[in-house]
Structure 1
Amino acid sequence: MAKNSGSSLFGFVAGAAAGALLGVLFAPDKGRNTRERLSYKLDKYREELEDLIEDLLEERKVAVTAAKSEGQKVIDDAIKHAEELMGEVDALKERISTPVLDDEEEV
């Protein structure tokens, strides 16, 4: 169950983040507004990833039997991927925080 739970939750969070990111990027709005909304959404997804890592770490503490140790490998892998995703979120936030003048903002 831990294998399916961690993988499903990680997949859901990653899919939601990608969908929101694409939705915001293709929305017709000024660049500054889009960057602010994207930064806000990335903060929210980062918080969700932190919560996911915390939950996974709590599950790791419960591992006792051999079956759970196999699930532990899945949890460790999910933690690694979530941390990598958090790093990518931070890098993306850094990139979008650099102001870029849009045609509408050059006036």
Structure 2
Amino acid sequence: MSNNGNTVLGILAGTAVGAVLGILFAPDKGSNTRQRISDEAQLAKQRLAETATELKEQVVSTATTKKASIDEQVDSIISNASYKADDVISSLERKLKDLKAKNKKFQKTS
């Protein structure tokens, strides 16, 4: 995303510089040149605003997608942990039952 944004900004900056240099070196009256520079600056400003809006929308979309993915992964981890906890509890209950049975045998023999 960073490279994409830098590329767009570089293209916009290059376009603006080229337009301004082209206007400055073109033979025309000073007032016409200043007006053209002003018009080009406004156009560049609009393009930059549009690009910023598009980049913002892309970031929001990507963040939303990543959040949904992370939420799914967290739910999966919690579910797996729950099943493993149940397995551990069942295993411990079986061992406790076996220990109680062995303890009764020892108590009968004493």
Shared fold (TM-score, shorter chain, > 0.5): yes
One-letter amino acid of the structure 2 residue matched with residue 7 of structure 1:
N
How is 1:54-65 mapped onto 2 (pairs within 5 angstroms)? 54-64=53-63, 65=66
Kindly name which structure, 1 or 2, has the bigger radius of gyration based on alpha carbons: 2
One-letter amino acid of the structure 2 residue matched with residue 41 of structure 1:
E
Structure 1 moving runs of 4+ over 6 Å: none
Separation (CA, whole Å) in 1 of partners of 2:53 and 2:40: 20
Look up the SS of the partner of 2:26 in the other structure. coil
- The question of 1:47 aligning with 2:46 is answered yes
- The question of 1:23 aligning with 2:22 is answered yes
**Structure 2 gap segments, 5+ residues each:** 67-110
Q: Looking at both structures, which has the greater relative contact order when contacts are Cα pairs under 8 Å and sequence separation is at least 6?
A: 1
User: Aligned-pair distance for 1:57?
Assistant: 1.0
User: Aligned-pair distance for 1:18?
Assistant: 0.7
How is 1:58-97 mapped onto 2 (pairs within 5 angstroms)? 58-64=57-63, 65=66
Tell me the TM-score normalized by structure 2.
0.54
Look up the SS of the partner of 2:6 in the other structure. helix
CA RMSD of aligned residues (A): 1.7
One-letter amino acid of the structure 1 residue matched with residue 9 of structure 2:
F
User: Aligned-pair distance for 1:41?
Assistant: 1.0
User: Aligned-pair distance for 1:19?
Assistant: 0.8
